[in-house]
């Protein structure tokens, strides 16, 4: 196109960050291009094969090794729309360096990827221009403390793709938005979304000797080539509004429902540090994201902890070097940094299946809290067995992945309860249900922030596949069909979340000291065995009692909770320790019998008049012992 016909004027830009952004004089395009000879910015009308306008990026637009160009309308252009509207609605863009075109790494969208798992040779992938306006109204970060957080890990496509989800827009951001009432009813106030940025889900497979090359779907989205971290995934959009607007609408709806949105972002090794930082900032500022799970082996932890924008949002990482953070004289990170790794999961699974030597370890995991950081606890996550498979399979069954069952971890720490896989034996099914109730109870009564895997509350199975990264089908999709089992497990999970929220002693803000530092009669946490006040940390022990005393919460009016764990295969008798002031214990939950006394779901203990006669009568009827069935847990609350 000749210069006279070009609809744009180009000026020197100067604003950070990179990518495309609206500025007072138009729309700025900024890119980092070191070590090159000739480069240009190219604009294509949507659907056209040749560019309508090409701007050579000369030193006129250069600052350091970066180029900044502000695009505005020509004064005589007969179009009443703003330059932002014109570019967003009519154009795509590319950069060219030394004769090779490429998509901007900072692109807010990528065209040609709007259909999941398919690429049309007739459609060229290019950067889309997303400077649409969006009305956030009064939307603001929720800043829910980790101590109050109930996190829920899900895959946007798989959560609603199955026909049983009964949503209108299956497998999309809109479909997920339709499920918000379900999540509210369950008690969830935070979702952790698997990759929602523009990853390439079409995976080329290296063949085994004698086999033909093939392709499979990278369903999860981790570590794929041609990834664009700034762009919401186009194939997750259901409407003509596009992924960017639809994603923002989804986030706003979650916030309106009191639910935070966190993203799982996996940066490939070698990713530029500034790009990673700009990426996370963009999701926070432009999309109102509440936090991230980030792989700290690639993204330096000090950069996250010290960044002016990111230091205030939730960051989940495998390990935080708190000593280095202290040496950098950074502020308290209690409600920002959280440790997210498999430690709790592996040991809780071992304890669940009655391994030796686990009692002392689980005391530490159940009670761990810190002034400096928080903890995310989970028993299942996307990489591994589902909860149902954890109690149904002893070994992995990944043959469907096409890797001859050689992929996936060998260390599942699972127990099939007597039969591998599906069965109709009632005794086995009952044992599995009891074990799932135990697992959920361990998770939802631990001090760290609990994270549920989507579908676990419905008994979803992956048929023993513990590495279902390439399974875009009913293996990984959440199945919403109601069965007797799924209804029971869902209702039980819902009640446990209510129980956790009701009793502040189960999710305290401060670390537990295990001493009577208020001189109120009991320590904040005491550990017991089958005998009161005598913890049994011997290698063969599978019995544990943990008493969380209510005098340390709710201005001293909180109700105490006593949790008994019998992971032994025979019934055990436990002492019940006395409470101060003659208060008694009331059984609220038994995982073996599946009993739950909902009438006990109130937070503060009732004040009762103290008389000598009443105190004497109470002492006579105090329950001193209780029996706990094999491989089960019970909870008593202060009455």
Got the DSSP string for 56-117?
A: E--GGGEETTEEEEEEEE-TT----S-HHHHHHHHEEEEEEETTEEE--TT-S-BTT--STT
pLDDT of 345-394, one tens digit each? Answer: 999 999 999 999 999 999 999 999 999 999 999 999 999 999 999 999 99
pLDDT of 549-564, one tens digit each? Answer: 999 999 999 999 999 9
* Domain topology for 3-128: Immunoglobulin-like (2.60.40)
Confidence of residue 621 (pLDDT cuts 50, 70, 90): low
* Domain topology for 147-506: TIM Barrel (3.20.20)
What b/e sequence results for 134-161 when a residue is b if at least 16 CB atoms lie within 10 Å of its CB, and e otherwise?
Answer: beeeebeebebebbebbbbbbbbbbbbb
Place of tokens 């949507």: 46
Confidence of residue 152 (pLDDT cuts 50, 70, 90): very high
Q: Does position 265 have pLDDT exceeding 80, yes or no? A: yes
Q: Does position 1 have pLDDT exceeding 50, yes or no? A: no
Contact in structure between 412 and 380 (CB atoms under 8 Å): no
pLDDT of residue 2: 44
Confidence of residue 468 (pLDDT cuts 50, 70, 90): very high
Mean pLDDT score, 445-454: 98
What b/e sequence results for 373-404 when a residue is b if at least 16 CB atoms lie within 10 Å of its CB, and e otherwise?
Answer: bbbbbbbbbbebbbbbbbbbbeebbbebbeee
Distance separating alpha carbons of residues 390 and 415, to the nearest angstrom: 7
Distance separating alpha carbons of residues 482 and 287, to the nearest angstrom: 35
Q: What is the mean pLDDT of the chain?
A: 94
CB-based burial label for 205 (10 Å; 0-12, 13-18, 19+):
middle
pTM for this predicted structure: 0.95
Cα 62 from chain centroid?
40
pLDDT of residue 333: 80
Q: Strand 91-97 to strand 127-128: parallel, antiparallel, or no bridges (unpaired)? A: antiparallel
pLDDT of residue 608: 64
Cα 254 from chain centroid?
14
Going 598 to 599 to 602 to 605, the CA torsion angle's sign is: negative
Confidence of residue 37 (pLDDT cuts 50, 70, 90): confident
Q: Which residue has the higher pLDDT, 212 or 491?
A: 491
Give the containing element (helix H, strand E) for 178: helix 173-178
CATH 2.60.40.1180 location in the chain? 525-638
Cα 391 from chain centroid?
23
Distance separating alpha carbons of residues 221 and 199, to the nearest angstrom: 6
At 72, give phi and psi (nearest 5°). -135, 170
- Class level of CATH domain 525-638: mainly beta
CATH 3.20.20.80 location in the chain? 147-506
pLDDT of residue 534: 97
Beta bridge partners of 337: 315
Q: What is the DSSP letter of 318?
A: S
Confidence of residue 221 (pLDDT cuts 50, 70, 90): very high
Distance separating alpha carbons of residues 271 and 285, to the nearest angstrom: 21
| Count of Cβ atoms closer than 10 Å to residue 202 Cβ | 17
Confidence of residue 3 (pLDDT cuts 50, 70, 90): very low
Q: Which of 226-240, 325-339, 572-586 has the least mean pLDDT?
A: 325-339
pLDDT of residue 609: 60
CATH 2.60.40.10 location in the chain? 3-128
Helices (H), 445-574: 484-502
Contact in structure between 123 and 422 (CB atoms under 8 Å): no
Q: State what percent of residues in the chain have pLDDT above 70.
A: 97
């Amino acid at each position: 196109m000749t210069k006279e016909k070009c609809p744009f004027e180009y000026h020197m830009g100067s604003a950070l960050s990179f990518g495309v952004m609206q500025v007072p004089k138009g729309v700025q395009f900024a890119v980092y291009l070191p070590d090159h000879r000739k480069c240009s910015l190219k604009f294509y009308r949507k659907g056209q094969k040749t560019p309508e306008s090409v701007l050579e990026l000369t030193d006129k637009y250069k600052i350091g090794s970066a180029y900044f160009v502000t695009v505005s309308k020509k004064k005589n252009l007969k179009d009443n729309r703003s330059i932002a509207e014109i570019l967003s609605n009519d154009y795509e863009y590319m950069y060219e360096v030394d004769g090779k075109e490429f998509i901007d790494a900072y692109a807010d969208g990528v065209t040609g990827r709007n259909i999941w798992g398919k690429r049309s040779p007739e459609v060229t992938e290019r950067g889309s221009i997303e400077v649409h306006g969006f009305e956030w109204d009064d939307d603001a970060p929720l800043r829910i403390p980790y101590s109050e957080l109930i996190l829920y890990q899900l895959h946007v496509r798989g959560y609603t793709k199955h026909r049983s989800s009964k949503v209108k827009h299956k497998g999309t951001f809109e479909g997920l938005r339709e499920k918000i009432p379900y999540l509210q009813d369950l008690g969830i106030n935070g979702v952790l979304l698997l990759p929602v940025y523009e990853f390439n889900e079409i995976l080329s497979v290296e063949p085994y000797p004698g086999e033909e090359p093939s392709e499979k779907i990278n369903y999860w989205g981790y570590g794929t080539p041609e990834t664009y971290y700034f762009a919401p995934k186009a194939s997750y959009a259901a409407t003509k509004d596009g992924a960017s607007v639809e994603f923002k609408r989804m986030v706003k709806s979650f916030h309106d429902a009191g639910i935070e949105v966190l993203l799982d972002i996996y940066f490939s090794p070698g990713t530029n540090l500034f790009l990673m930082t700009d990426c996370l900032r963009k999701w926070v500022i432009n999309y109102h994201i509440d936090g991230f799970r980030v792989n700290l082996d690639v993204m330096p932890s000090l950069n996250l902890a010290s960044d002016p924008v990111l230091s205030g949002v939730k960051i989940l990482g495998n390990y935080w070097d708190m000593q280095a953070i202290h040496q950098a004289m950074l502020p308290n990170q209690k409600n920002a940094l959280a440790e997210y790794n498999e430690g709790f999961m592996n040991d809780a699974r071992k304890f669940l299946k009655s391994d030796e030597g686990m009692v002392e370890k689980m005391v530490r995991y159940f009670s761990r809290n810190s002034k400096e950081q928080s903890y995310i606890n989970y028993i299942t996550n996307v990489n591994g067995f589902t909860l149902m498979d954890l109690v149904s399979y002893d070994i992995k069954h990944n043959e469907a992945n096409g890797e001859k069952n050689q992929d996936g971890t060998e260390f599942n720490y699972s127990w099939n309860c007597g039969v591998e896989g599906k069965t109709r034996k009632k005794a086995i099914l009952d044992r599995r249900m009891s074990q799932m109730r135990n697992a959920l109870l361990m998770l939802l009564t631990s001090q760290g922030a609990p994270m549920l895997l989507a579908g676990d509350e419905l008994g979803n199975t992956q048929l023993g596949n513990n590495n279902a990264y390439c399974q875009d089908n009913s293996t990984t999709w959440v199945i919403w069909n109601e069965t007797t089992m799924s209804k029971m497990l869902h209702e039980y999970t819902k009640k446990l979340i209510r129980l956790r929220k009701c009793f502040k002693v189960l999710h305290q803000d401060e670390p537990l000291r295990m001493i009577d530092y208020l001189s109120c009669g009991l320590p904040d946490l005491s550990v017991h065995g089958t005998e009161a006040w005598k913890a049994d940390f011997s290698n063969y022990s599978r019995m544990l009692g943990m008493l969380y005393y209510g005098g340390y919460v709710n201005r001293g009016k909180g109700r105490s909770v006593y949790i008994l764990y019998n992971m032994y295969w025979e019934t055990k008798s436990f002492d019940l320790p006395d409470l101060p002031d003659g208060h008694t214990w009331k059984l609220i939950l038994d995982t073996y019998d599946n009993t739950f006394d909902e009438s006990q779901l109130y937070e503060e203990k009732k004040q009762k008049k103290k008389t000598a006669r009443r105190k004497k009568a109470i002492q006579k009827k105090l329950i001193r012992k209780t029996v706990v069935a094999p491989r089960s847990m019970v909870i008593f609350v202060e009455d």
